[in-house]
């Protein structure tokens, strides 16, 4: 494909690639982040003095982390859907609905 439509097609492809990378990257990072944090929280739970506070902090930390990573994941999914929708509507063929 030649002309300006080729640029739109290319940018939709780049957008789709980055969006999927963002989505899957957030899933993997969340898993690694929580796993590493669990190691620290296990150490703190082994100490009787820090055990009660450790449990509260762990719940807050994991909740905030899950919300944050899930937000990035959903944003990536949304961008990927928008790119797919634009391609399906025929933007890459020069059609505008």
Band of residue 97 on the pLDDT scale cut at 50, 70, 90: very low
Given a cut of 50, is residue 66 above it in pLDDT? Answer: yes
Cα–Cα distance for residue pair 8/14, rounded to 1 Å: 10
Helices (H), 1-97: 4-46, 51-88
In angstroms, the Cα distances linking 42 to 38, 46, 63 are: 6, 6, 17
Per-residue pLDDT at 94 exceeds 60:
no
pLDDT of residue 93 exceeding 80: no
**pTM value surpassing 0.85:** no
User: How many Cβ atoms sit within 10 Å of the Cβ of residue 92?
Assistant: 19
Here the tokens at position 13 are: 């492809």
How much is the mean pLDDT over the chain? 88
How many residues are present in the chain?
97
Residue 96: band (very low, low, confident or very high) from pLDDT cuts 50, 70, 90: very low
Residue range 54-68: mean pLDDT, rounded: 97
């Amino acid at each position: 494909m030649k002309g300006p439509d080729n640029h739109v097609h290319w940018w939709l492809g780049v957008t789709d690639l980055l969006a999927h990378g963002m989505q899957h990257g957030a899933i993997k990072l969340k898993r690694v982040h929580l796993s590493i944090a669990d190691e620290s929280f296990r150490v703190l739970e082994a100490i009787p003095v820090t055990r009660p506070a450790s449990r509260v902090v762990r719940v807050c930390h994991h909740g905030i982390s899950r919300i944050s990573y899930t937000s990035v994941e959903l944003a990536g999914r949304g961008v990927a859907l928008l790119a797919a929708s634009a391609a399906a509507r025929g933007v890459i063929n020069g059609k505008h609905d």
